[in-house]
Structure 1
Amino acid sequence: MSKVWLRAEDARLEDLLQVLKEQTDAADYPYAERIEQQVPLYDATRIREEDPRQVQTELAKALSEGPGIVVLKGAFGNEVVDATTAEFNRMIVDQREAGTAAGDHFAKPGANDRVWNALEKLAIRAPEVFAAYYANDLLALVANAWLGPAYQLTSQVNVVNPGGEGQTVHRDYHLGFQSNEVAALYPAHVHRLSSVLTLQGAVAHCDMPVETGPTLYLPHSHKYELGYLAWRRPEFGEHFVANHVQLPLEKGDAVFFNPALFHAAGSNHSESIRRMANLLQISSAFGRAMESVDRVRMAVTLYPVLRELGQDGAFGLDNVIAACAEGYAFPTNLDRDQPIGGLAPQTQADLVRQALDEDWPDDSLQQALDEHAVRRRTDDI
C-alpha cells in the first residue's frame, strides 16, 4: 500500500541506490543518436524529420520512466543564439550599472550573474530577437510532450564566471523550493505530482566544455519518492558529488529535464569562458509559474513583429504566441467572461491569434486585451 505521508527521517541512501540501479537502455530510445552517461542525445536535424508525435512519446518516456533528462543537439541556430546573447549581456551590464545585480538559488552570492524574468525583458527590449528565438519548434515539441498545450514559459539567464562556484545538489520548483518541514505537510501524491507541473530546460549560449561547469545530473534520481525530503541530507549530497554525470554542451544545444532530478550547476574552472545558459522554466497550465510576467505588455510589444513575420507560413508563429501570451482560460470571472459557444472563455493567446488572422491594427489588440483583463476582474461584486 502506498504511503500517504512522507517523512524526512525515512529517507535512506540505500533506497535511492536501489532506484539508481536502473540503466538507460538504448533500445528504448530509437530516435536518439546515442546514449552518453545514461542520457539520450538527439540530433535536432534528424528528429525534425521524424513523426513529431512519435518523438514526443519517446521524450515523455525519457523524462518520466527513463533517466529524466534529454539533450537536443543543435536545437537552436548560432545566429539566433548570438543575437539573444548580445541582448542578455546588455541586461547584465544594465543591472550592474544600476546596482541591482541578482543572485542565484543554491549558490554562493557573487558566483553568478543572474537575470530574472529574462523572458519579458527580452520581449520588451528586442521583440524581433524574441520572436526568432521562441519560434523554435523543438522547444514547443518537448514542452507539449511533457506538459500538453497552454504551457507558460519563464526564463532566467544564468552566467557562471571563470572561477565562479556552482550550486549544491537540489531538486527544483515546486516542492524543491520548500523546506523539509513544509514539504512534509504535502501528501505523497502531491510529491509525485510536483514533477509533472514543470519542465526544466537550459539552452547553451556558448560552448560548454566540462571545465566550464555545465550542469551536473544524477540520472534516474527523479524516481526516488522521498527525494524532495532527501536532497539536503549530507549522505545524499556526498553520493551526488561522487556519482553525478556531466555532459559537455555546444552553443545551441538544449537540455530538458524532470524538475525532480537531482542536479546542480557546476563550478567554472576555465580561465576565460563566461558560461551562459538561458534557463527555461516551463509551467503546466494547471500549475503556478515561479515568476510574475506581464503577458499583455509582451503580446502588445511583439504584435507588430508577428504581423510582419506571420506572412511567412514557415515561421513558428504559434510557438511565439505560446511563449508570450496566456493560453489558459482560468481563473476568470464567469459572470462577465462567459464561455459563449464552448466550455471556456477566450484566452490572451486566442485574442492574439484572432488579431493576426483578421489583421487588426496594433491599438486594437491593446484595447481587446485590456477589455479581456477587465472581464476577468471581480470588482462588480
Structure 2
Amino acid sequence: MTITSTSSQLRWIRPEDARLSDLLEVLREQTDLADYPHASRVEQQVLVYDWATLRHTAADEVTRRDVLAELARALSDGPGIIVLAGAFDAEPLGRATAAFERMIVEQRESGTTAGDHFAKPGANDRIWNALEKLAVADPVAFVDYYANDAVALAAQAWLGPGYQVTSQLNVVNPGGAGQTVHRDYHLGFQSAGTCARYPAHVHALSQVLTLQGAVAHVDMPVESGPTLYLPHSQKYAHGYVAYQQPEFQSYFLAHHVQLPLSAGDAVFFNPALFHAAGTNHTTDVRRMANLLQVSSAFGRAMETVDRARVVAATYPALVSAHAAGMPARAVANVIAATAEGYAFPTNLDRDQPLDGLSPQTQAERVAAALESGMPPGELAQLLAAREADRSSH
C-alpha cells in the first residue's frame, strides 16, 4: 500500500496503465502458514483461524496485541482475507437469524422490496441498516450477537478503536445470480473514471478506512454461492481502475477461490480484495449472510455543518454569479465548499442508487439545479425531501 515513487506521472492511477501482467506478478506470492503462528490452516491461500482457540489467546491483553498485529498483517501484506471458523455460537446466531427472518416477512408483506447494488429488486432478500433494525426489533438478540469478540478483534486489528459497525442482511435465494468482480467501499463504489481523479495515495488510503466482513447464518456449501475471492489482489495498486476491465474480469472468473462456510463462521477481508458473491445453484439453500462494514473513526470533519442551510443561503448568489459568466471550474469550487459531495452515509431503503453503486450527492443535485435554472425555493424543497430520505427512520 506504500506509494514510494516521486514521479508526478506515477502519482496518478490511470485505467490505461492497468495491466493484467502486473496483477499476476502480485499474485505470485503464496500464503505461508509459518508466517501466521495463530492461524490453524491455509485453504486455497486463505488463512483460517479456529475461533475456539483464538478467542482465549485474544482474551489476554499481552497476547491480544500479537494477534491484532498478525491479523492486520494478514489483511494488508498477506492474502487480504481471514476466516474465523466457529466465530458465533448457535444460540445468539439463531436468535438474530429469527429476527432477520421476521423482518424479511414483514418487508414482503408490506410490499416494499429492498434494492440491491448488484441484483434486481426482488431477486434477493436484502435488509438495509440491519444493525439498527435488529437493535430495535430484538435488543436482547442484538446485545448477545454483538457481544461476540470476533467482530471487535478484526475491527480493532484493521481500524483501531473508535470504529463504527454497520450491517446489511443479504439472502440469496435458490437460483440467485452472482455478482461481477469488484472492490468495495469507498473507491470501489466509484467508476474507474472517478477513481482516476483521486491521487495514488488516496487509492492506498481507501483500503484502511473500512473493513468488510460477513457472518454466515446458514451452512454455505460451494454450490450455494459463497463469496468468490482472489487472495493477495488487494496489493495491486491499479485495482480500483482495473476490475471493471474485461480481461481482469475474465481472469477472476477463471482463477478465483471459493470457500464453503458453516453457520457461525465469520469472514473478514480488505475492501480492496477482488471479490464477488457467487451464484446460488442449489434448489433448497437460502444463503443468508450478515454483511458487516466497519468504518474507521477517522475520515470525518471537525465541525458539524448544516449543508442544506449553507446551500439555501448561497444558491441565489451562485445563480447570479453563474449568469454573469463565472467560469465552470469556479462554480464547481463553490459547490464543493457548499454542498455535501459524498453520497454516504444514507438510507439505502429510500435513497437508492439510480445509476451505478452510489446515490446522487447533494452537490450533484445543486449543480443540476443550477444548470436547469431551478428556483431557490424549489431546490430547498428538493434537498429537504432528499435529506428526509437519508434519515435512518
**Superposition TM-score, scaled by structure 2 size:** 0.73
Q: Are residues 1:127 and 2:134 paired? A: no
- Which runs of 5 or more structure 1 residues have no equivalent in the other structure? 294-381
Deviating more after overlay: 100-109 vs 237-246: 100-109
Contact 2:113/2:121 (<8 A) preserved = no
Please report how far the alpha carbon of residue 95 of structure 1 lies from its aligned counterpart in structure 2 after TM superposition. Answer: 1.3
* Aligned partner letter, 2:240: Y
Please report how far the alpha carbon of residue 240 of structure 1 lies from its aligned counterpart in structure 2 after TM superposition. Answer: 0.3
Please report how far the alpha carbon of residue 264 of structure 1 lies from its aligned counterpart in structure 2 after TM superposition. Answer: 0.4
Q: Deviations over 1:206-228 (max 9, x none)?
A: 00010100000000000000100
The one of 144, 149, 162 equivalent to 2:174 is 162
Partner of 2:226 in structure 1? 214
Partner of 2:201 in structure 1? 189
Partner of 1:48 in structure 2? 55
Please report how far the alpha carbon of residue 106 of structure 1 lies from its aligned counterpart in structure 2 after TM superposition. Answer: 2.6
Please report how far the alpha carbon of residue 101 of structure 1 lies from its aligned counterpart in structure 2 after TM superposition. Answer: 1.1
The one of 53, 69, 78 equivalent to 1:66 is 78
* Aligned partner letter, 1:46: T
User: Match of 2:291, SS?
Assistant: strand
The verdict on how the C-alpha distance between 1:247 and 1:290 changes in structure 2, with shifts beyond 3 A counting, is: farther
Partner of 2:215 in structure 1? 203
Please report how far the alpha carbon of residue 290 of structure 1 lies from its aligned counterpart in structure 2 after TM superposition. Answer: 4.5
* Aligned partner letter, 2:259: L
Please report how far the alpha carbon of residue 55 of structure 1 lies from its aligned counterpart in structure 2 after TM superposition. Answer: 1.1
State the aligned residue count: 293
Contact 1:122/1:130 (<8 A) preserved = yes
The one of 18, 23, 31 equivalent to 2:30 is 23
Q: Deviations over 1:255-305 (max 9, x none)?
A: 000000000010001110100000000000113694448xxxxxxxxxxxx
Contact 1:154/1:291 (<8 A) preserved = no
Please report how far the alpha carbon of residue 22 of structure 1 lies from its aligned counterpart in structure 2 after TM superposition. Answer: 0.6
Deviating more after overlay: 108-117 vs 266-275: 108-117
Q: Deviations over 1:146-187 (max 9, x none)?
A: 000000010000111001101110000000011111111100
CA RMSD of aligned residues (A): 1.3
Contact 2:51/2:85 (<8 A) preserved = yes
Please report how far the alpha carbon of residue 98 of structure 1 lies from its aligned counterpart in structure 2 after TM superposition. Answer: 1.6
Q: Mapping of 1:230-245 within 5 angstroms?
A: 230-245=242-257
Residues of 2 paired with 1:193 and 1:217: CA distance?
21
Q: Are residues 1:152 and 2:164 paired? A: yes
Contact 1:201/1:279 (<8 A) preserved = yes
The one of 2, 10, 14 equivalent to 2:17 is 10
Residues of 1 paired with 2:85 and 2:127: CA distance?
25
Residues of 2 paired with 1:176 and 1:213: CA distance?
21
User: Match of 2:48, SS?
Assistant: strand
Q: Quote the sequence identity (%).
A: 69
Residues of 1 paired with 2:21 and 2:92: CA distance?
45
Contact 1:111/1:166 (<8 A) preserved = no
Residues of 2 paired with 1:171 and 1:27: CA distance?
28
- Which runs of 5 or more structure 2 residues have no equivalent in the other structure? 58-62, 301-342, 348-393
**Superposition TM-score, scaled by structure 1 size:** 0.75
